[in-house]
Amino acid sequence: MIAIGNPFGFGGTVTSGIISARNRSIGLSRYEDYIQTDASINSGNSGGPLFDMKGDVIGINTAILGRSGSIGIGFSIPSNNAKLVIDQLIEFGETKRGWLGVRIQDVTQEIADIEKLDKPRGALVASVAKDSPSYKGGIKEGDIILEFDGQAIQEMKQLPAIVAKTKVGKKVEVKIWRDKKEIIKTITLGRLETSEDFKVAEKSAIPNEKSVEKLKISVRELTSEDIKLRSLPNQTSGLVITKIENDSPLLNTIEINSIILEAQKKKIKNIKDLNNAVKQVFNSNQKTILLVIYNNQNQRRYIGIKLD
């Protein structure tokens, strides 16, 4: 395997190595499926080709691990992925990525246990955009996507890449886990580039804080001003976390200013709703509470918390 580029301005440099791994994700974008190589790739090599020993281009050199230069870990975009984009640019003059209209997260062991799933797998639907393909196709918040268009989803990160490569307008079958059983939904895929954000609402006064003793946190009710400032869906209701004690079970898991939307799959509109949900967990043998929150980045997340 050979890499060609212009490291530090030295044109036409050739290095060799092996493919260390495939399907790497390094946090640069939502669509990641990098080839990892130990060929020396330094600053200035971005955009250079990665060849196999037959002379075929198998990747485009993109990133390195290590700010000062190569430490034997470089990353390349697979040529098959690049070809999809190139073909679209030639045909349409722009990209057309598939779009489901969901925000997703990993399925943790705690969530798999609560949902009675055999093991942590798939992609948990944290939120569904209104009027999106998933919304129209019947996908709901809390569903776990196990399979998309015949391809099994073992990890959350697989789904965005698979969806993006799927043709806009195609009807696909999506296998989901809901209410402890598998069901199939048919979705007509939309286009990511034409998707719209949620709308906002009007102002209201900020209510007083109240404590939730068993969780050792303080909260206040969500206002319409919060909704507007944070660009949340109009009908959002919940509790804003204003304080987390050092011995709270939520410490290091949930941040201050996160919004509790649901507890034990029930919507939370006021402090009474949350206290009732917590009480229910303490009176059961499960001792795990499932919260749905908006974090500080306004991402909808499912959090499983063990309570003592």
Q: Note whether residue 290 is domain-resident.
A: yes
- Listed residue (191, 218, 219, 239) closest to 88, CA to CA: 191
User: Strand (E) positions, 86-236?
Assistant: 98-99, 102-106, 123-128, 144-148, 151-152, 171-178, 181-188, 190-191, 210-212, 217-221
Look at residue 80 and tell me whether its pLDDT is greater than 70: yes
- Listed residue (143, 138, 147) closest to 127, CA to CA: 143
- What integer pLDDT is reported at residue 3 of this predicted model? 86
> In terms of domains, do 126 and 69 share one?
no
Q: Report the predicted TM-score, pTM, of the whole model to 2 decimal places.
A: 0.57
Look at residue 206 and tell me whether its pLDDT is greater than 60: no
Look at residue 191 and tell me whether its pLDDT is greater than 70: yes
Q: How far apart are CA 125 and CA 176, in angstroms?
A: 10
The model's pLDDT over 104-115, given as tens digits with 9 standing for 90+, comes to: 999 999 999 999
Domain housing 300: 210-306
Look at residue 208 and tell me whether its pLDDT is greater than 80: no
Q: Note whether residue 38 is domain-resident.
A: yes
> In terms of domains, do 102 and 184 share one?
yes
> Mean pLDDT over all residues of the chain?
86
Split into its structural domains, the chain has a count of 3
Cα angle 301-307-308, degrees, rounded to a multiple of 5: 160
Question: What CATH number corresponds to the domain at position 71?
Answer: 2.40.10.10
Q: What are the tokens at 86?
A: 């190139």
> In terms of domains, do 119 and 177 share one?
yes
> In terms of domains, do 217 and 182 share one?
no
Question: What CATH number corresponds to the domain at position 102?
Answer: 2.30.42.10
Percent of the chain with pLDDT over 70: 92
Q: Note whether residue 202 is domain-resident.
A: no
Q: Note whether residue 220 is domain-resident.
A: yes
> In terms of domains, do 147 and 184 share one?
yes
**Residue 122 — pLDDT band, cuts 50, 70, 90?**
very high
Look at residue 219 and tell me whether its pLDDT is greater than 90: yes
Bridge partners of 152?
A: 147
Q: Over range 264-274, report the average pLDDT.
A: 92
Q: Note whether residue 113 is domain-resident.
A: yes
